[in-house]
Amino acid sequence: MADVTFTVDGKKLTAPAGTLLIEACRKAGIEIPAFCYYPGLSLQAACRMCVVRQEKVPKLQTACTTPVAEGQVFITESAEIAQARKSTIELLLGNHPLDCPVCDAGGECELQDMTFKYGAGESLYTEAKQHREEQQWSPAVFYDRPRCILCYRCVRMCGEGMDVWALGIQNRGARAVIAPNGGDQLDCEQCGMCIDVCPVGALTSGSYRYKTRPWEMNHVSTVCTHCADGCKVTLGVRQSNDGSTIIRADNRDKSGINGDFLCAKGRFGFDFVESGDRLTKPLVRDAQGKLESATWEHALRFAAARLKEIRDAKGGSSIGIIGSNTTTNEENYLLQKIARTVLGTNNIDHVRTADYATFSRALAGKASRTVGLRGIAEAPAILLVGSNPTDEHPLLAWELRADVRLNRARLYIANTAEIKLERQARAALRVPPAGYTQLTGYLAGGKSSISDTTFRDALLAEESLVVVIGPELSGATLQSLIEWGLGREHVKFALLGDFANSRGAADMGLSPDLLPGYVPVTAPGDYAAEYPNLPRAPGKSLPEMLSSKLGALLVVGADPVAQQNVAPDVLKSTFVIVQDLFLTETAAIADVVFPSASLYEKTGTVTNTYGDLQLAKKAADHAGVKTDFEILVRLADALGADINKLVPFGKSSVTADLGQSRGAQAGEADRHAVWLAAQGLEPKLSPFDPIAVLDEIERLVPGYKLDRLNLFCGNDVATEPGFVPVSALTATATIEPAHDGLFTSGLLSRYSPALKDLEKHQSAVPAVAVAD
Amino acid sequence: MPKLVSHPDEVKIVSKRFGQGAANIDKYVELGGYDSAKKCLAQGPDWIINEMKASNLRGRGGAGFPTGMKWSFVPKQSAKPKYVLVNGDESEPGTCKDHLIFLHDPHSVIEGTIIAGLAIGAKLGFIYLRGEYRYLLEIMEKAVADAYEKGFLGKNIFGSDTEFNIITQSGAGAYEVGEESALMESLEGKRGVPRIKPPFPAVVGLYGGPTVINNAETIATVPHVIAMGGEAFAAVGTPRNGGTRLFGLSGHIAKPGVYELPMGYNLKKMIYEVGGGVRGGRGLKAVVPGGSSTPVLLPEEIENIGMDFDQVGKAGSMLGSGGVVVIDDQTCIVEFALRTISFYQHESCGWCIPCREGTDWLKKALTRFHAGFGVAKDIDNIQYLAENMMGRTFCPLGDAAAMPTLGFVKKFRKEFEDHLNGKPCPYAKHADLAVV
Amino acid sequence: MTNETMSVFSTELSARFDKLVAKYPVRRSALVPMLLYAQDEVGYLSDAVIADVADRIGITELDVRNVATYYSMLRFKPAGKYNVQVCTNISCMLRGGYEIFEKFQDELGIGHKGVSTDGVFSLEEVECIGACCWAPAIQVNYDFHDDLTPEQVPGILEQYRAKAAQGGKNA
Ligand SMILES: Cc1cc2nc3c(=O)[nH]c(=O)nc-3n(C[C@H](O)[C@H](O)[C@H](O)COP(=O)(O)O)c2cc1C
Ligand code: SF4
Ligand code: SF4
Ligand code: SF4
Ligand code: SF4
Ligand code: FES
Ligand code: FES
């Protein structure tokens, strides 16, 4: 819309016509107080805190509902306005318990802040306050009516934002309350979004209540370790006996790709970190065949000695490596580098939850045909094929809903089953069971068993389209769909996988046939020089490794035994090394087990399924564990590898790296060091500093030319997969989507009491959309 | 059965069929009913709106907005259907005039609705009655059914090719639902919480379509305006206040009842001549001129007030719903103020802070105060609170609670002070006033 | 759609509801009257009533409750067969509304929102019922009684007691 000019407090401001005054002011740095207004949710005009004076209008106006127009004149602070706000707060405090000292929101309460600002400290009114007992609605959500200021943010967040509609307003007048859908229980997604938006301490979180005060915590922004959407999450951390403990997770800075959003897993599922089942000491199988704890030195030496023995005796091809979907890019990169340059094998793979290899092959050489989450969030038209994002990609679902609601985006859904997002869809196409293979033919207008042509017509009328593809589509099916899209202008793609770093695992070359950046091992390009002794033949895939009685198997952050249903004696003759948080089924049969750190206990980058790269920052400490990065470096060291080659750390390598990768930007290393120091990160002086490997990733991996400044500011940065052409994929990929729901997250959720508890409160039937 | 009253000064226009069995459709037609609708059907929208404008008929629901002008705001073209909405929520304490219209002259409401529909190009009208008016709803339902039967409603009204339908609707107990946008919410099956304005109902109303909403009396007056001609109707009243109004005299009045008097009729005369003065020959302490929301007037203030929107407004109060509540000199004003605020506390929808919390605290403070536990500072606090509610709430209910409270405190400060210092209610009638 | 035999409502009411929901441009418009009519028959809005209504309208029970709890005539506990509603608002108060209310309290031995032990009566102090010019006024269920004096109270109760004894339907 055309810009208009108006005056606020004597300053001329410009904004598109129709912008809400409160937003226009915020953008100009003029803060107008608001309880009920919340960006992106419907307008209420209920709290009356945002009142301003508009010239020639008799009454005070609410800035949250006033659209700006040319020539308007506003005053946002004056004695009259201050008085109006003060009296509103006085009124609120009339029935408010003022139990700030014991309230969870104390220190983070908008009512407290406002009271301070407008000085309504003394209570004018001596009447008895309405008392009501606090209610527990679910393991996650508690409600305290006396503290509730009835701003209805929670109700709107749950309904409009989440499309769950589990909260309502009941009774009227001073007796009004917020009420949950199950009478006294909340039967919902337990996302905690309602708690998050509550400006006061009326809604509190079961996991955080009375644990601490906000100012006693350190707040660390990192990346959620659960699904592949990669929400930015702020962990509140407090020092404890055995390191530091995560007290809560939220998204207080709201600058991440997730904006306001976090799902139940991101918000409550951090407690696996504190699980009593965490491994804290290395384990080595003793002469009696029992796993016994050992010192790090002993375990590392023992593991390395055996590995070396096997490598030297039977060759690298007798060793297999299985990597993780939740470890960092640097760890994954290092893992494959060790495999290929130290152990001399291409037998490396990971549990593939989506066919990123085909995705990259289909898009090879095509610029700007993939789309990050921010791009999806504002796409005017989206085709979602497969997947059920509401459960499996909560953030994507949130963004799609918001895009439809706020930007009037058109969502098209093609799925074999009915999914909840169809409530937001402009059109939904029911694909016959196992019918995704026919989809491309249908879209291309050819013959197909799908007869609904209106869906296709509407879709083809779209000028631009983002195609979000579920993990059900792989191989030729995936390839043909992408080819169809490439044949049209303005079509971009995203592929949905599972877990925090599945995309990173694939990007970083945890594949028997592909090096980092999907460079084929058969035509390694620059890697040929960088990776001496790189075996040129593709290695074994994960299923092949498990069935071919390898001499040794190194498993990092994965549980192939459980996941692949491996018979117990298959790995009997294989020397198995496992790095994990827990004694998984694979760890239980291993010969050496190293206790590793979770994503919340390390620094490094992860790539979400849309290719957005983010920096995970170490938040907590767990006594006894080490990061996979450190374990790998030490293992390689014990194997006799040249660590300086493996991890280009230290002054010389930094300088060397500079010249090659960023010629024009000389001096960045210094700036970078300043940056690292400012971020509380160690400069790359240690072989355990993963950022040294990030340098190499940037240098060698196609597509990982990163905007470092932004990355280290804590922002997500795009990876542009300028995928290199692959003539054919040699390994037959088995794609196994995890289909994790709202409360499951692979192995981690099994050790999260919070998620297990919440799962019981999951809504069986989605609520009917509110008819209007 | 409510008693009908009469007085020679009455000019019976709206009430002219009261007590004549006009709920019967044949009787209504015999008394000239539906002629206006037929005339409007022939004349068309512009003519109707011009007549309405000329009539100076102002809304009888309380705010007194010129009806013709309101109708003219409805866009001629609209993608969404347009609606007529008759507000029969009548819940303002002191008001019972619509009650009599529904009881005695239901077809005038139907006919008025048809005319409004013709004027704005609507095909559907709703008549919403408060839930307590069940027997009146049944009368209305019967009347609507009869009108369909006769072909006055339906696909081809009066044999024309114009369609018009009416749906009757029951509320379920909520004063706030009388507020126009809250009424639309209620009619859409939602909580009676008002909507953000703009957009105004004339543009975006019921189901998002352009909607004219009028009070039942306004609507019932419409056929008479058409029958008399706008100018003739206007001539009955005072400038900019056309016609007559159903005034309800209640409280300590000798002859309570609903009287139809010309707009601008002198208030003092209304009380002393039409209503027979204060009951039992007592002195007059105060008058609430237009329903409980309107600020109280002192005896000396009513001398020269003509009861029209402008004159009462000038006197610092409002004509409101036309419910004149007479208060004698043995009434405790604090108690009266408390009962008034209790009502608003009970009826506040709770949406916005100043009204929800303000009415609650005024009620609590006045309860304590009236019970004899007040302190001097309370009086200022009550005034401060009410002043800070004024103009700050989401809908006018907050003002409707604050305005009378301010009136009582300002005009009867002495009486409040008399409650202090061991002097509980000087009248001590309901010192333990039970509250709803 | 609710299976008729499963409905908490009588066949007549069910049929009426079927018509009601179809009457409006939007189904949900039937909600408020439907709740009131349901209460008239069942006596109060039980959980079963709310579930049934939610089903008929096609909205959640929560949504029905949000709306139902807004309206003061709707109740969630049984009342007496005859619910006596005494207006004590200004016009009635000035003409003895509280005396009428007290008389009912004395006669029935119950207070505001009380239900008599025999379940025949319940008592409620209510806001203005639109009979101000005929004050003081009360409603017994939907019947108006106006221009009352406390002396008339026993007679009114007698009238309804007799009706109740005959098993008369709600007025
Ligand atoms: C709290 C509140 C209650 C109201 N109650 C009623 C009512 O019961 N009946 C009515 O006709 N108007 C009522 N109104 C006025 C309506 O909002 C609206 O102005 C009126 O129905 C318009 O009709 P009119 O122009 O014919 O007066 C109320 C307004 C407010 C703010
Ligand atoms: S789904 Fe549950 S936890 Fe999430 S906003 Fe709604 S009520 Fe709150
Ligand atoms: S619980 Fe919190 S968010 Fe919800 S209405 Fe109350 S104060 Fe607002
Ligand atoms: S599990 Fe996924 S959607 Fe949920 S918070 Fe973590 S990254 Fe976000
Ligand atoms: S003023 Fe506010 S709380 Fe009061 S009735 Fe209006 S919207 Fe509701
Ligand atoms: S923020 Fe504008 S009224 Fe609440
Ligand atoms: S005040 Fe009692 S009926 Fe109006």
The minimum-distance atom of ligand 7 relative to the CA of C89 is 1
- Looking at the CA of B251, name the nearest ligand: 7
Which band of pLDDT confidence, cut at 50, 70 and 90, is reported for residue A687? confident
Q: What is the mean pLDDT of chain B?
A: 96
Q: B173 and B131 in contact (C-beta within 8 Å)?
A: yes
Q: B110 and B254 in contact (C-beta within 8 Å)?
A: no
pLDDT of A673 reads: 55
Taking the domains of chain B in order of start, what are their residue ranges? 25-236, 244-328, 333-417
CB-CB under 8 Å, C23 with B346: no
% residues pLDDT > 90 (chain A): 73
Flag whether residue C28 sits within 8 Å of chain A, measured between CB atoms.
Answer: yes
CB-CB under 8 Å, C26 with B207: yes
The minimum-distance atom of ligand 4 relative to the CA of A225 is 6
Q: Hey, which CATH number is domain A92-205, 3.30.70.20, 1.10.3720.10, 3.20.20.140, 3.40.50.720?
A: 3.30.70.20
> Can you tell me the mean pLDDT for B143-164?
98
Q: How far apart are CA A598 and CA A272, in angstroms?
A: 9
Flag whether residue C66 sits within 8 Å of chain A, measured between CB atoms.
Answer: yes
- Residue A252's SS3 state is coil
pLDDT of B35 reads: 98
Residue C127 has pLDDT above 60, yes or no: yes
- Pocket probe for ligand 1: among B180, B184, B344, the residue whose CB has the most ligand atoms within 8 Å is B180
- Map tokens 């009236």 to a residue: B370
Q: Provide the CATH number for the domain formed by B333-417 in this structure.
A: 1.20.1440.230
Question: How does DSSP classify residue B329?
Answer: T
Q: A347 and A551 in contact (C-beta within 8 Å)?
A: no
pLDDT of A663 reads: 37
CB-CB under 8 Å, A166 with C26: no
Separation of CA A411 and ligand 4 centre (Å): 21
- Looking at the CA of A600, name the nearest ligand: 4
Q: Which residue has the higher pLDDT, A392 or A100?
A: A392
Which residue among B174, B352, B388 sits closest to A87, beta carbon to beta carbon?
A: B388
Q: How far apart are CA B379 and CA C93, in angstroms?
A: 24
Give residue-wise pLDDT tens across range B265-283: 999 999 999 999 999 999 9
Size (chain B), residues: 436
Could you tell me if the CB of B355 is within 6 A of ligand 5?
A: yes
Q: Which residue has the higher pLDDT, A654 or A275?
A: A275
B contact chains, 3+ CB pairs < 8 A: A, C
Contacts with A169 from chain C: Cβ below 8 Å: 66
Q: For B185, which residue in chain A has the nearest alpha carbon?
A: A772
Which band of pLDDT confidence, cut at 50, 70 and 90, is reported for residue A766? very low
Taking the domains of chain C in order of start, what are their residue ranges? 11-68, 82-165
Residue A650 has pLDDT above 70, yes or no: no
Residue A727 has pLDDT above 90, yes or no: no
pLDDT of A772 reads: 40
Give the mutation candidate from B351, B366, B387 for the A interface (greatest A CB count, under 10 A). B351
Give the mutation candidate from A170, A177, A184, A423 for the C interface (greatest C CB count, under 10 A). A170
Nearest Cα of chain A lies from the Cα of C75 at a distance, in angstroms, of 11
Give residue-wise pLDDT tens across range B37-80: 999 999 999 999 999 999 999 999 999 999 999 999 999 999 99
Compute and round to an integer the Cα radius of gyration of chain C: 18
> Can you tell me the mean pLDDT for A629-644?
95
Q: Hey, which CATH number is domain B25-236, 3.40.980.10, 3.30.450.20, 1.10.357.10, 3.40.50.11540?
A: 3.40.50.11540
Which residue among A169, A767, A772 sits closest to C60, beta carbon to beta carbon?
A: A767
The minimum-distance atom of ligand 4 relative to the CA of A500 is 7
Q: Provide the CATH number for the domain formed by C11-68 in this structure.
A: 1.10.10
Could you tell me if the CB of A51 is within 6 A of ligand 6?
A: no
A contact chains, 3+ CB pairs < 8 A: B, C
pLDDT of A682 reads: 54
Residue A460 backbone dihedrals phi, psi, to 5 degrees = -70, -20
The minimum-distance atom of ligand 3 relative to the CA of A155 is 4
Could you tell me if the CB of A43 is within 6 A of ligand 6?
A: no
Q: How far apart are CA B129 and CA B174, in angstroms?
A: 11
Describe the strand order of the beta sheet including A232-240 as a list of residue ranges: A218-223, A232-240, A243-250, A621-622
- Looking at the CA of A137, name the nearest ligand: 2
pLDDT of A661 reads: 39
Give residue-wise pLDDT tens across range A594-616: 999 999 999 999 999 999 999 99
- Pocket probe for ligand 4: among A223, A226, A748, A755, the residue whose CB has the most ligand atoms within 8 Å is A226
Contacts with B248 from chain C: Cβ below 8 Å: 132-133
Lowest mean pLDDT among A90-99, A287-296, A626-635, B17-26: A90-99
pLDDT of B74 reads: 98
Query: Cα–Cα–Cα angle for B87, B90, B91, nearest 5°?
Result: 135
Q: A254 and A231 in contact (C-beta within 8 Å)?
A: no
Q: Which residue has the higher pLDDT, A470 or A717?
A: A470
Tokens of B311: 């004159």
Q: For ligand 1, atom 29, name the residue with the nearest CA.
A: B179
Which band of pLDDT confidence, cut at 50, 70 and 90, is reported for residue A683? low
Give residue-wise pLDDT tens across range A482-510: 999 999 999 999 999 999 999 999 999 99
Separation of CA A501 and ligand 4 centre (Å): 12
Among A279, A270, A205, CA closest to A244:
A270
Q: Which amino acid is located at A757 in the chain?
A: D
Q: Which residue has the higher pLDDT, C10 or A721?
A: C10
- Residue A625's SS3 state is coil
CB-CB under 8 Å, C66 with A170: yes
Give residue-wise pLDDT tens across range B131-147: 999 999 999 999 999 99
Nearest Cα of chain A lies from the Cα of B194 at a distance, in angstroms, of 10
Q: A3 and A17 in contact (C-beta within 8 Å)?
A: yes
Q: How far apart are CA A243 and CA B292, in angstroms?
A: 67
Which residue among C32, C57, C127 sits closest to B175, beta carbon to beta carbon?
A: C127
Residue A307 has pLDDT above 90, yes or no: yes
Ligand 7 pocket, CB under 6 A: B 93; C 87, 89-92, 128-132, 135, 137
The interface residues of chain B toward chain A in range 165-204, judged by CB-CB distance below 8 A, are: 174, 176, 188, 191-192, 196
- Residue A465's SS3 state is strand
Give the mutation candidate from B191, B278, B296, B340 for the C interface (greatest C CB count, under 10 A). B191
> Can you tell me the mean pLDDT for A716-734?
70
Which band of pLDDT confidence, cut at 50, 70 and 90, is reported for residue A97? confident
Separation of CA B291 and ligand 7 centre (Å): 11
Which residue among C26, C70, C72 sits closest to B188, beta carbon to beta carbon?
A: C26
Which band of pLDDT confidence, cut at 50, 70 and 90, is reported for residue A322? very high
pLDDT of A668 reads: 44
Could you tell me if the CB of B394 is within 6 A of ligand 5?
A: yes
Query: Cα–Cα–Cα angle for A175, A179, A180, nearest 5°?
Result: 170
Contacts with B326 from chain C: Cβ below 8 Å: 94
Give residue-wise pLDDT tens across range A33-82: 999 999 999 999 999 999 999 999 999 999 999 999 999 999 999 999 99
Give residue-wise pLDDT tens across range A178-231: 999 999 999 999 999 999 999 999 999 988 776 777 778 889 999 999 999 999
Q: How far apart are CA B314 and CA A646, in angstroms?
A: 90
Other CB atoms within a 10 A radius of the CB of residue A531 amount to 18
Q: Provide the CATH number for the domain formed by B244-328 in this structure.
A: 3.10.20.600
CB-CB under 8 Å, B169 with C29: yes
Residue A768 has pLDDT above 50, yes or no: no
Which band of pLDDT confidence, cut at 50, 70 and 90, is reported for residue A657? very low
Q: What is the mean pLDDT of chain C?
A: 94
Q: How far apart are CA A381 and CA A375, in angstroms?
A: 11
Q: How far apart are CA A735 and CA A712, in angstroms?
A: 33
Nearest Cα of chain B lies from the Cα of C101 at a distance, in angstroms, of 10
Terminal-to-terminal C-alpha distance of chain A? 29
Q: Which residue has the higher pLDDT, A634 or A95?
A: A634
Residue B242 backbone dihedrals phi, psi, to 5 degrees = -75, 150
pLDDT of A703 reads: 87
CB-CB under 8 Å, B350 with A174: yes
Q: How far apart are CA A511 and CA A407, in angstroms?
A: 40
Burial of A572 (0-12, 13-18, 19+ CB in 10 A): exposed
CB pairs < 8 Å spanning A and C: 41
Question: How does DSSP classify residue C6?
Answer: G
Q: How far apart are CA A622 and CA A632, in angstroms?
A: 18
Contacts with B430 from chain C: Cβ below 8 Å: 93, 98
Which band of pLDDT confidence, cut at 50, 70 and 90, is reported for residue A719? confident
Q: Which residue has the higher pLDDT, A228 or A657?
A: A228
Nearest Cα of chain C lies from the Cα of B358 at a distance, in angstroms, of 19
Q: What's the CATH class of domain A3-77? A: alpha beta
Size (chain A), residues: 772
Flag whether residue B397 sits within 8 Å of chain A, measured between CB atoms.
Answer: no
Q: How far apart are CA B17 and CA B29, in angstroms?
A: 11
Residue A651 has pLDDT above 60, yes or no: no
Q: How far apart are CA A466 and CA A491, in angstroms?
A: 6
Residue B421 has pLDDT above 90, yes or no: no
Which residue among C71, C130, C142 sits closest to B91, beta carbon to beta carbon?
A: C130
Residue A387 has pLDDT above 80, yes or no: yes
Cβ contacts of B199 within 8 Å, gap of 6 or more: none
Q: For ligand 4, atom 4, name the residue with the nearest CA.
A: A263
Fold of C82-165: Glutaredoxin (3.40.30)
| Rounded alpha-carbon distances, angstroms, from residue A441 to A450, A485, B53 | 9, 12, 65
Task: Looking at mean pLDDT, say which of A97-111, A728-742, B160-174 comes out highest.
Answer: B160-174
% residues pLDDT > 70 (chain A): 91
| Rounded alpha-carbon distances, angstroms, from residue A523 to A335, A720, A728 | 20, 21, 12
Which band of pLDDT confidence, cut at 50, 70 and 90, is reported for residue A299? very high
Q: How far apart are CA B122 and CA B84, in angstroms?
A: 7
Identify the architecture of domain A356-496 in CATH.
3-Layer(aba) Sandwich (3.40)
Which band of pLDDT confidence, cut at 50, 70 and 90, is reported for residue B344? very high
Convert A697-728 to b/e letters by CB count within 10 Å (16 or more is b).
Answer: bebbbbbbbbebeebbebbbbbbbbbbbebee
Taking the domains of chain A in order of start, what are their residue ranges? 3-77, 92-205, 283-354+502-722, 356-496
pLDDT of A61 reads: 97
Q: For C32, which residue in chain B has the nearest alpha carbon?
A: B189
Which band of pLDDT confidence, cut at 50, 70 and 90, is reported for residue C165? very high
Which band of pLDDT confidence, cut at 50, 70 and 90, is reported for residue A121? low
> Can you tell me the mean pLDDT for A656-662?
34
Question: How does DSSP classify residue B237?
Answer: S
pLDDT of A686 reads: 77
The minimum-distance atom of ligand 2 relative to the CA of A137 is 7
Q: Provide the CATH number for the domain formed by A283-354+502-722 in this structure.
A: 3.40.50.740
CB-CB under 8 Å, B356 with A150: yes
Question: How does DSSP classify residue B21?
Answer: T
pLDDT of B433 reads: 45
Separation of CA A739 and ligand 4 centre (Å): 14
Q: What is the mean pLDDT of chain A?
A: 90
Contacts with A185 from chain C: Cβ below 8 Å: none
pLDDT of A730 reads: 64
Predicted model pTM: 0.94
Among B203, B2, B3, CA closest to B83:
B203
